[in-house]
Amino acid sequence: MVFAWSTAARAEEAFVTNQLSDDLTIVDLASLRPLATIPIGGKPAGVAVARDGRFAYVTSPDDKAVSIVDAAARQVTGRIEVGGGPLGIAVPPDGAAVYVADWYAAAIRVVDPKARAVVASIAVGASPSGLAVTPDGKLLLSADRDDDSVSVIDTATRERKAVIKVGTRPFGVTIDPEGRRAYTANVGSNDVSVIDLADNSEVGRVKVGLRPYAVALAQGRGFVTDQYDGTVSVFDLASLKPLKRISVGDYPEGIEATADSQRIIVANWESNTLSIIDVAELKVVGEVKVGDGPRAFGVFLRR
């Protein structure tokens, strides 16, 4: 089912990794229609669209590789062997590097996208999953799931400068537009940790639904995918008080806000759909069919 959405804003696109169908679906968020399906292989999971929108980078854990997707041409233009178990992925604002979380090696691989090669490795905690870069590009955060912590990395020196204890089994990590706070979805403790990046400490917790996966931010609110509940938990960023639970598809995972903060896009693993949430009304206003097993883990919207 596809619902139309009328907007005067420039159309954004969702680059959705479909792990079970081994491909990537590109969805036009103005018309809510799929535009293309690109074969990837290797059970694609993580995705990061560069800020300039030219390329999307996709991790394939089974192939131990990262695919480079030309966003305009709608095709894979290269693959980089990174080894291990690549999962989370992030690109800094200048696009000069690609950071890849190696689940098995407790390390972040630094990839030069022009040379198409791994140029450095950074040791972090056990089972790094989600990655996020601050808006100024100076810090890289890694959610180290099996260490119940977040690693803070100086991107200039490529050294881990702090370790922050959070909830149990953090998975997705999101940084606010000001670069002041970060939020981790803690799969094991069913909550969200709030991190102050100025003093590298956890400053709050918010209870959410079962098995939270990732967090999106819009209009002073946090939106969290609750995998086992089929919901998105909403909380107030100032008071950290829960506001609402919104029913979406089955087993929601990837989540991100559109550039205008008017909509939240949610990938539903078992329903093979994207749910579109209106931020003002806090309700689902659209749905789009995608591939099999959509994860969209990371920054998957092309603005």
E strand or H helix at 99: strand 98-102
Phi, psi dihedral angles at 158 (to 5 degrees): 60, 40
Domain boundaries, given as residue ranges, for the chain: 13-302
- In the chain, the percentage of residues whose pLDDT exceeds 90 is 96
Confidence of residue 6 (pLDDT cuts 50, 70, 90): very low
Q: Is 147 helix (H, G, I), strand (E, B) or coil?
A: helix
Average pLDDT over residues 194-215: 98
Angle at 76 between CA 84 and CA 103, to 5 degrees: 15
Condensed to tens digits (0 to 9), the pLDDT of residues 220-236 reads 999 999 999 999 999 99
Write down the pTM of the prediction. Answer: 0.96
- Please say whether the beta carbons of 231 and 245 come within 8 A: yes
Mean pLDDT of the chain: 96
* CA-based nearest residue to 185, from 163, 220, 209: 209
The three-class DSSP label of residue 11 is: coil
Lowest mean pLDDT among 9-18, 221-230, 288-297: 9-18
Other C-beta atoms lying within 10 Å of the C-beta of residue 53: 14
pLDDT reported for residue 202: 98
Confidence of residue 3 (pLDDT cuts 50, 70, 90): very low
Domain 13-302 carries which CATH code? 2.130.10.10
C-beta of residue 193 within 8 angstroms of C-beta of residue 175: no
Quick one: pLDDT at residue 301?
Answer: 98
Q: Does residue 5 surpass a pLDDT of 90?
A: no
On the question of pLDDT at 15 being above 90, the answer is yes
Average pLDDT over residues 276-285: 98
63: nearest Cα among 90, 82, 38, 36: 82
- 201 contacts 233 by C-beta, under 8 angstroms: no
Rounded to the nearest 5 degrees, what angle is found at the Cα of 135, between the Cα atoms of 131 and 141?
25
Query: pLDDT tens for residues 257-268?
Result: 999 999 999 999
Q: Contact at 8 Å (CB) between 37 and 23?
A: yes
Cα(195)–Cα(81) distance, integer angstroms: 33
pLDDT tens column, 20-31: 999 999 999 999
Per-residue model confidence (pLDDT) at position 39: 98
What is the number of alpha carbons within 13 Å of residue 264 lying toward its C-beta?
32
Nearest residue to 207 via CA among 232, 189, 220: 189
How much is the pLDDT for 11? Answer: 81
Cβ–Cβ < 8 Å for 133, 123? no
